[in-house]
Copies of this chain bind each other. A is one copy, B any other.
Amino acid sequence: MSRQSRRPRRPRETERSLLAWLAGRRETAGLLGDDAAILPPRRGHVVTVDCQIAGVHFPHDLDPAVLARRLLAVNLSDLAAMGARPVHAFLALAAPSGFPHRRFFRALLSEAARHRLILAGGDLSAAPAVYASLTLIGERWPRARRWLRRSEARPGDALYLGGSVGESALGLELVRRGARLVAGRVALPAALALPAALEAPARRAVRRHLLPRPQLGLGAWLSRRARGAAIDVSDGVARDLHRVCAESVVGAVLEADRLPRSRGFRALAQRLRLDPMRLQLGGGEDYVLLFTLPASLVPPTELGCHRVGRVEAGRRLLLADSAGRTTPLLDLGWDHLSPGA
């Protein structure tokens, strides 16, 4: 290590700089860059891995049953974004002595069964804090025509969101201020002193943050269409749209007023003194799909999607207000190497 310290200092490493470097190495064989890797032979399977760490992704006192469901949901969302059907799961779980493993596994297995997902292997360790990493293998849905990729947006495509954004970031803020999900019910700390009208939106936000709903059905529908890019919004709409545009080598216009938000969202954000637009663009952990479709295709109403903009030629990403004025859409959102940077 002493040799390292004598080297000139490199600029601070970000997730993007590290991934760009990795993607250029032959040992990654061009497989990085989507929500899951599409594997040879015959590109018949996709594989994704995601982890949840106590004190980083969830509070140390989170009910292990909720943790299990969250871990699974976050990973399933990556398969949804690939248009994949979940098949096999592999778990690495490290937990302190006394951790109620069976409570965790009962929740994991019951949620897995709902998706016909099989827990095929894993690794157990003891550790000072809970760390869980899940690897999922997915295959094609019946009648699927393709995997969804980030690289398939084309100028002229319409840009969609599969649901509301920003609510999860509000929920995270409430959890930071003491909100908890206990025995299926959200408890809000008295110190929040929320007006009665905001309690229901607050409970929804906490639930949305802790128990996201992966959009597997939407992923399946998209996988049966001929074309269009997709990503799951894990690090904020702005950053994830930047990723789609970078992979597709296109630009885009995001219409601020069209960003779907849940009921009570704006009032709750104001009450917590948070900027609603910043929550929506940069909050992250929404786990809805951000996708593009040729203008001739419109998702069926029951999928609950919202058109939020369009794909354009060039490389500019713009945010348009209601009057049509545009400003550059900053690449703000979560960097996994420098949280808060």
Tell me the A residues contacting B by CB distance below 8 Å.
Answer: 1-4, 13, 15, 18-19, 21-22, 25-29, 31-32, 36-37, 39, 47-51, 53, 55-57, 63, 88, 90-92, 94, 97, 100-103, 105, 109-110, 112-113, 117-128, 131, 133, 135, 137, 182-183, 336-339
Contacts and interface: CB of A to CB of B under 8 A. Distances in A.
A112 to B, nearest CB: 5
A122 B28 CA distance: 11
Nearest to A3: B183
Given A100-B4, A101-B18, A47 B121 contact: yes
A71 to B, nearest CB: 11
Contact of A101 (B3, B28, B337): B337
A28 B120 contact: yes
A240 to B, nearest CB: 15
10 contacts: A27-B117, A31-B88, A32-B120, A37-B121, A39-B137, A47-B90, A47-B137, A90-B135, A124-B337, A126-B336
Nearest to A54: B127
A100 B1 CA distance: 10
Query: How many copies, total?
Result: 2
A117 B3 CA distance: 29
B102 A25 contact: no
Given A21-B105, A39-B88, 13 more contacts: A1-B63, A27-B117, A37-B120, A39-B137, A47-B137, A49-B135, A51-B92, A51-B133, A92-B92, A94-B131, A123-B336, A126-B338, A131-B131
A120 B29 contact: yes
Contacts of A137: 39, 47
Given A101-B18, A127-B56, A131-B53, A27 B121 contact: no
Contacts of A2: 183
A336 B109 contact: no
Contacts of A101: 13, 18, 337
A137 B339 CA distance: 31
Given A55-B128, A127-B56, A49 B122 contact: yes
A88 to B, nearest CB: 6
A124 B336 contact: yes
Given A27-B119, A37-B90, A118-B29, A127 B49 contact: no
Contacts of A49: 90-92, 121-123, 133, 135
B105 A53 contact: no
Contacts of A63: 1
Contacts of A13: 101-102
B124 A56 contact: no
A27 B108 CA distance: 10
A117 B276 CA distance: 45
Contacts of A53: 94, 125, 127, 131
A8 to B, nearest CB: 14
A121 B19 CA distance: 10
A21 B103 CA distance: 12
A69 to B, nearest CB: 14
